[in-house]
């Protein structure tokens, strides 16, 4: 099966058979430790196990993805068939994320359309009486513009790569990462100014869960794009081989679209009495 000719694949099939890896079993133990740590922290305020679990998960993520990046630089490993499989995998992952957010929207609209299920009163309203909401045309609208602009900059970076413009690629990715960090910072500021607390009832719970998990996805996407930025600066992206950037762009556009739904349904359509500042 092996070949001694330089530049010739060492196997006669287009599939990548991965080498034995310790990361799957280590990641499973780290995730179990983190879950056990959450239980101990929630019931007994013991946080050491949780910290060990989180550190273990992060270490496994770093090591596993480092190996994947090494494999991607070998043209005989990430063949056209393998890259097609990676695309299918990324599409299925995003589809699962769509259903993840569908659950949050389902919960929100259930209470928004049938507010009597919250208080039991026949003439209940949504948001519930006494709950002050954010002005949708303040920070939420600014964050919407930031995310829409970031969608343009990541598309610019992708097209620059396809045209062999490395400077445009790096600039576009750098701007996208900066905009993603700006979004996270403004959302943290918004939370600090929130007129309600997470434990303040159904509305605060649905609000923080939906927007908070989206914020977490923005952080993940920003890290994803930052890795692509560093790889681009190192010259590891080419017009022919750049699935990492392509997957990051898909994920980022998904994050953009989810935010538009959140802004329209929760901040704008679901606005009640605006909190005074």
**CATH architecture of the domain formed by 87-274:** Up-down Bundle (1.20)
Kindly tell me the burial class for residue 221, based on how many C-beta atoms sit within 10 Å of its own C-beta (0-12, 13-18, 19 or more): buried
Q: Tell me how far apart the terminal alpha carbons of the chain are, to the nearest angstrom.
A: 72
The C-alpha atoms of residue 212 and residue 206 are separated, in whole angstroms, by 10
What's residue 6's pLDDT?
46
What's residue 9's pLDDT?
54
For the domain covering 15-78, report its CATH number.
1.10.287.70
> Residue 273: beta bridge partners?
132
Q: Where in the chain is the domain with CATH 1.20.120.80?
A: 87-274
What's residue 277's pLDDT?
54
What's residue 146's pLDDT?
97
CA 71 from centre of chain: 23
The C-alpha atoms of residue 224 and residue 243 are separated, in whole angstroms, by 12
The DSSP call for residue 263 is: I
Q: Where in the chain is the domain with CATH 1.10.287.70?
A: 15-78
Mean pLDDT, consecutive 10-residue segments, the chain of 277 residues? 46 71 95 95 91 96 90 76 88 95 91 77 74 89 96 96 93 97 96 83 88 94 94 88 91 96 92 65
């Amino acid at each position: 099966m092996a070949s001694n000719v330089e530049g010739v694949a060492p196997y006669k099939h287009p599939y990548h058979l991965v080498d034995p890896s310790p990361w799957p079993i280590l990641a499973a133990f780290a995730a179990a430790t983190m879950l056990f740590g959450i239980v101990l922290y929630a019931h007994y305020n013991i946080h050491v196990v949780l910290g060990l679990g989180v550190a273990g998960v992060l270490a496994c993520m770093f090591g596993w993805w480092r190996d994947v990046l090494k494999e991607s630089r070998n043209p005989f490993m990430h063949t056209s068939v393998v890259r097609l499989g990676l695309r299918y995998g990324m599409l299925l992952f995003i589809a699962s994320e769509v259903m993840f957010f569908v659950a949050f929207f389902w919960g929100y609209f259930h209470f928004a359309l049938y507010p009597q299920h919250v208080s039991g009163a026949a003439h209940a309203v949504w948001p519930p009486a006494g709950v002050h909401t954010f002005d949708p045309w303040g920070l939420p609208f600014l964050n919407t513009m930031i995310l829409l602009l970031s969608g343009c900059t990541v598309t610019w970076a992708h097209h620059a790569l396809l045209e062999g413009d490395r400077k445009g690629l790096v600039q576009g990715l750098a701007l996208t990462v900066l905009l993603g960090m700006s979004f996270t910072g403004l959302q943290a500021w918004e939370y600090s100014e929130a007129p309600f607390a997470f434990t303040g009832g159904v509305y605060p719970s649905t609000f923080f869960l939906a927007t908070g998990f989206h914020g977490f996805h923005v952080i993940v996407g920003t890290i994803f794009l930052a890795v692509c930025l560093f790889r681009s600066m190192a010259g590891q992206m080419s017009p022919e081989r750049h699935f990492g950037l392509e997957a990051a762009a898909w994920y980022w556009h998904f994050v953009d679209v989810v935010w538009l739904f959140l802004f329209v349904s929760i901040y704008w359509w679901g606005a009640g009495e605006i909190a005074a500042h």
